[in-house]
Amino acid sequence: MTGLQKSPLPPRFAIARDQPSVDFRPFFSDFTLSHRRIVEFRASNLSMLSIRNLTKRFGLQTAVDQLSLEVPEGQIVGLLGPNGAGKSTTLKMLTGLLEPTAGTAVIAGHDLLTEPLVVKRKVGFVPDSGAVFESLTGLEYLEMIAALYGIDSQKARERIEQFLSFFELGFDTLTDKLLGAYSKGMRRKVVITAALLHNPTVVFFDEPLDGLDANAAVGFKALIQTLAREGKTIVYSSHILDVVERVCDRVVIIDKGQLKVDGAPAELVREHGARSLEHLFTDLTGGSDLEQRASDFARTFRG
């Protein structure tokens, strides 16, 4: 299954027994994206995310090369590739942080190039850097993000408290110190909260588990599955292949900026005769000799 084909949504969701039950419906019920909007998209068979020949060049180097994908509402797509494959560049273009050299994307019915502000209201982004304003407290930062999206202060506080409850944090956690003094995991939780405060239609996660402890990581995986059930479209970029294989409906592997394969994880493994998604990944991205290289390297320490 390659190219522009849509992967069917499998029966949802057999969450592992050790994952918490997450019900965010009360949290999302008052948000601006109406159920009618989702129904309209479903009835008209439109993609929530349509990437059309998206290309980015830096001088003579092509980081993303005519990438095209169609992603429907409610689907979790794992975006995989080795370092330098173009994953983060793709996400930065889709969120308006980088201007494409060519091509475009349509997100929730709005063109990235002609309606950039509308698109930015529709998307949430957790970047791999986890960058924040370190001179603010966590609460000040989240209230600033809410104000930028025009969220009423009382409503913003309610949503922030909902996320604090989800991450099992006390309110004083956001007020006692500046973000510059937060641990990596705590900062990541704030960034995830900020990305979801305005109820985006499409959410992009770039290495979201980086810095999270085991319990928070398990909860986060349950959260993105809940978001998908509520109609959100999720693009999940990660190097942790076993997590992607468990939580994603569909996997897209890119290398050197080009699409290699696209389909449901189990189907891709079966179609390519691979032992696992990990082995398929290494075969497609030039890492098939990794075991031999590791053995050769280890021998340098003998005798």
Model confidence over 231-251: pLDDT tens digits? 999 999 988 888 898 899 999
| Domain-located, residue 204 | yes
The pLDDT score that the predictor gives to residue 41 is 47
Contacts of 145 (CB under 8 A, 6+ apart): 194, 197, 198
Domain with residue 56: its CATH number is: 3.40.50.300
The pLDDT score that the predictor gives to residue 296 is 67
CA angle 294–295–297, rounded 5-degree value: 65
Distances (CA, A) of 104 to 45, 52, 101: 20, 5, 9
Model confidence over 1-49: pLDDT tens digits? 444 344 343 333 333 333 444 454 544 444 434 444 444 444 445 689 9
**What is the pairing mode between strands 76-80 and 233-237?**
parallel
| Domain-located, residue 145 | yes
Model confidence over 136-190: pLDDT tens digits? 999 999 999 999 999 999 999 999 999 888 888 888 889 989 999 999 989 999 9
Sheet with 102-107: strands ordered across? 61-71, 49-58, 102-107, 110-111
The pLDDT score that the predictor gives to residue 232 is 95
Model confidence over 109-138: pLDDT tens digits? 999 999 999 999 999 999 988 778 999 999
The pLDDT score that the predictor gives to residue 93 is 97
Could you tell me which of 272, 280, 196 has the C-alpha nearest to residue 244?
280
Q: Is the pLDDT of residue 192 over 60?
A: yes
The pLDDT score that the predictor gives to residue 178 is 93
Could you tell me which of 213, 48, 237 has the C-alpha nearest to residue 125?
237
The CA distance from 268 to 279, in Å, is 11
More confident residue, 302 or 182: 182
The CA distance from 93 to 112, in Å, is 9
The CA distance from 177 to 190, in Å, is 13
| Domain-located, residue 11 | no
Q: Is the pLDDT of residue 57 over 60?
A: yes
| Domain-located, residue 47 | yes
The CA distance from 243 to 78, in Å, is 9
pLDDT band at 291 (very low <50, low <70, confident <90, very high): low
Look up residue 197 and give its two tokens.
């405060």
The pLDDT score that the predictor gives to residue 237 is 94
Residue 234 and residue 224 in contact, taking contact as beta carbons nearer than 8 Å: yes
Look-up of token digits 């019915």: 109
| Domain-located, residue 117 | yes
Residue 166 and residue 22 in contact, taking contact as beta carbons nearer than 8 Å: yes
| Domain-located, residue 86 | yes
pTM more than 0.85:
no
pLDDT band at 286 (very low <50, low <70, confident <90, very high): confident
More confident residue, 173 or 61: 61
**Per-residue b/e over 249-270, b at no fewer than 16 CB within 10 Å?**
bbbbbbbbbebbbbbbbeebbe
pLDDT band at 292 (very low <50, low <70, confident <90, very high): low
Q: Is the pLDDT of residue 263 over 80?
A: yes
The pLDDT score that the predictor gives to residue 287 is 64
pLDDT band at 293 (very low <50, low <70, confident <90, very high): low
Domains identified in the chain, total number: 1
Identify the domain containing residue 218 by its residue range: 25-298
| Domain-located, residue 10 | no
Of 52-56, 120-124, 217-221, give the lowest mean pLDDT range.
Answer: 217-221
The CA distance from 200 to 44, in Å, is 20
Distances (CA, A) of 102 to 53, 117, 152, 268: 7, 19, 38, 29
| Domain-located, residue 4 | no
The pLDDT score that the predictor gives to residue 216 is 87
The pLDDT score that the predictor gives to residue 39 is 46
Q: Is the pLDDT of residue 100 over 50?
A: yes
pLDDT band at 300 (very low <50, low <70, confident <90, very high): confident
